[in-house]
Amino acid sequence: MQAGKDASVRAVSPAGAQAVAGTHYNPWLHGYVVFVAIATFLLIIAGALVTSNDAGLSVPDWPTSFGTFRMPRMVGGVLYEHGHRMIAATVGLLTVIMALWMWLREPRRWAKRLAGAAVLTVIAQGVLGGITVLFYLPVAVSTGHATLAQTFFCIMATLAITTRRDWRWDEAKIQEQPVTPSLRLLAVFTTSAIYAQLILGAIYRHNGMGVLPHALGAIVTAGLALWLGVRLFSHFVREHALRRSAMALLGLLAMQIFLGISALILRMEYRDAPQPMPPLIYTSTAHVAVGALVLVSSVVLTLQVFRRVAASPKAAPEIGAQQKATV
């Protein structure tokens, strides 16, 4: 079946012909993984609210709160800071339960290992959060804390999509014609650029640099995403999974750019305000949240590309090598 200019007839590998779809599927486990992924997204929002409200040191110690393990009065910045800690602890516990469940019931070894990586990541995330408080919000540690949160969200999104009933790696794939860069490589470049852009955004939010590198990164990221979208809509229009993922990425990216410009305008308008103002708080928090969704949507699209599109053939270089050998 032809699927545009870049695609040719599907070819099923012997392994794919013998595999049975959904042999790994556990509906209860999949539902739980999705639940943990949603909880992780809420944790990112809670963390963004801490930064947007300048509440990072509202609770000045860690792991205790004001010297004890008792619940402090949830007022002012303490509401955001201690609330963030409570949500983080809950997500950590949920992640450990998920990993144990997957090690007991998940047949795929790589999925078990990824679940184990999720536990290590969430533990490291908690430790970085504590160090951030103990050392009074150093830019490098605060940025690492924010970046690791995005990494953990990507892991959870990957587990959520790959535990679905219909997910298989060995199914029939579209053979892409030789092109540079290949669709797989372009998808990886786009996701990497978005990840780097979120790092620049975290540095900017923690006052480690000006807005210019982040703005330039947004232009590069938008260009790569548009390039990827054009390739998909031009040559793989019949692939509904790829098309839906591309539409989600481009729609979220447009929303993210709008929120970023709005946040910048509001920051300039309220630069002399004695405290964070609600419009800036809400817009900045939404910018962080949508940024996380942009990254995860790009990760999902990249997984779909690797699932549905075969690696570009390298027949031409091999033929050239054979000709040289003949001569």
Where exactly are the structural domains of the chain? 25-167, 172-317
Closest CA to 92 of 69, 123, 116: 123
Q: What is the DSSP letter of 208?
A: S
Helices (H), the chain: 14-18, 27-52, 76-105, 109-134, 139-162, 183-205, 212-235, 240-269, 278-308, 315-326
Which residues have CB under 8 Å from 108's CB, separation 6+?
Answer: 24
How would you write the pLDDT of the chain (327 residues) with one tens digit per residue?
444 444 443 444 434 433 445 567 899 999 999 999 999 999 999 999 999 999 999 999 999 999 999 999 999 999 999 999 999 999 999 999 999 999 999 999 999 999 999 999 999 999 999 999 999 999 999 999 999 999 999 999 999 999 999 898 887 788 877 888 999 999 999 999 999 999 999 999 999 999 999 999 999 999 999 999 999 998 888 888 899 999 999 999 999 999 999 999 999 999 999 999 999 999 999 999 999 999 999 999 999 999 999 887 664 444 444 444 444
- According to the model, what pLDDT value does residue 241 have? 87
Q: Say if CB 64 and CB 133 are below 8 A apart.
A: no
Helix axes 278-308 and 183-205, enclosed angle (nearest 10)? 160
DSSP 94-162: HHHHHHHHHHHH---HHHHHHHHHHHHHHHHHHHHHHHHHHTT--HHHHHHHHHHHHHHHHHHHHHHHH
pLDDT for 315 equals 45
- For residue 211, the one-letter residue type is V
Q: Write down the pLDDT at residue 294.
A: 98
Helical (H) or strand (E) element with 175 = strand 174-175
